[in-house]
Structure 1
């Protein structure tokens, strides 16, 4: 009530005054509104520098804002909820199912990049988009290009036979384990860029690492 009465008195005083004082008050209010608006915009567009380790590329510096964090979050969720990034033992799962999941991840990642706006705020450092494209071209594409035609050829030549009878199954699984290990690092990198806390706990990967240690690619961000 007191605050409302004070505001009412101020409004009444402003409407009753004129000349220089009126212009000064109006300008002050306009300046306050502009300051608030700029502060909101600055918070929404603020850039954060994040250092992560990427397979085959060592440690790199990425620059992200809120839009880039949203893209990284979408890529993290799309990746972490697929069987393709879960380690597949020799006596577990099906290669066809995992390969189809990898194809789905490739398509979803590409679609996410297509509908998102490219980063234009970066003058130094890399972007989330660059990390995602590298994930597709360096990890997923080579594996799928090599093994999908071979598995399909076996399936077409031996309909109804189990893929465990495929002579190249063990070699394919060995390559798959390497891809999955790298994919896990990319997933954690997306989580780091998105600002996700306890990403390894969400994945349940800490216990799977040697010694149960966490990922070395999760240092603190520098604003």
Structure 2
């Protein structure tokens, strides 16, 4: 980008000198500065136009968010693809059947998903704003703050406290083991829906064939069907667990 800007400035400066030679105006420096500014403005305008010209609308239906219209371009498709890969290749998105698997491993993987997704968003270029259209950043941040952050803030400290108090005890002895697994299944089901959304934004055909389906959970102990952990839809910090760091 900087190289192109400097090149455009140089071209504009030369154009200014050419105009000066043709018109025989005595203010040589004025024409150099004016030509350079015009060249820089032109390259920025062309770059902005190309970004907007590549935008396409994609409708994504996510049960937690209903149907939304997203405006995506090549840059945002790459971000969506990275988010899709991260969500579907981790242990955190694979259902634990009965007493199989380890909750600690799933929590650690889910925390890794949170950290990686955050770094992916920080490294990406912000999407061009378009009236009436959401961006891939909106979908990713909503997944982090609505699903991952509240879950980790609630269950990571509880499991860590049990592990510190009972270092030799198996995970099945944890009194909250069943409740945590039930809530984990709910979050996995939600992340599955987000993963399909990322796939559609990335342009993946038939993403359902690539993602292992996570069945909807039954009601968690002491919680009504369909409720969520923490404050849904907020973007602030939820709790003091590891995801809040």
Normalising by structure 1, what TM-score?
Answer: 0.71
Structure 1, unaligned runs of 5 or more:
1-37, 211-223
Helix, strand or coil: the match of 1:61?
Answer: strand
Match of 2:199 among 191, 197, 201: 191
Deviation at residue 203 of structure 1 after TM alignment = 1.8
Match of 1:94 among 70, 86, 102: 102
C-alpha separation in 2, matches of 1:108 and 1:42: 29
In the alignment, what sits opposite 1:79?
87
Matched, 1:124 2:132: yes
Helix, strand or coil: the match of 1:203?
Answer: coil
In the alignment, what sits opposite 2:112?
104
C-alpha separation in 1, matches of 2:81 and 2:142: 17
Structure 2, unaligned runs of 5 or more:
1-45, 217-245
Instruction: Check whether the contact 1:72–1:190 (CA below 8 A) recurs between aligned residues.
Output: yes
Deviation at residue 120 of structure 1 after TM alignment = 2.0
Match of 2:156 among 129, 148, 158: 148
Which has a greater percent of helix?
A: 1
Deviation at residue 70 of structure 1 after TM alignment = 0.5
How many aligned residue pairs are there?
Answer: 169
C-alpha separation in 2, matches of 1:56 and 1:197: 22
C-alpha separation in 2, matches of 1:192 and 1:52: 7
CA RMSD of aligned residues (A): 1.9
Match of 2:209 among 181, 190, 201: 201
Deviation at residue 164 of structure 1 after TM alignment = 0.5
Helix, strand or coil: the match of 1:126?
Answer: coil
Deviation at residue 42 of structure 1 after TM alignment = 4.9
Normalising by structure 2, what TM-score?
Answer: 0.65
In the alignment, what sits opposite 1:48?
56
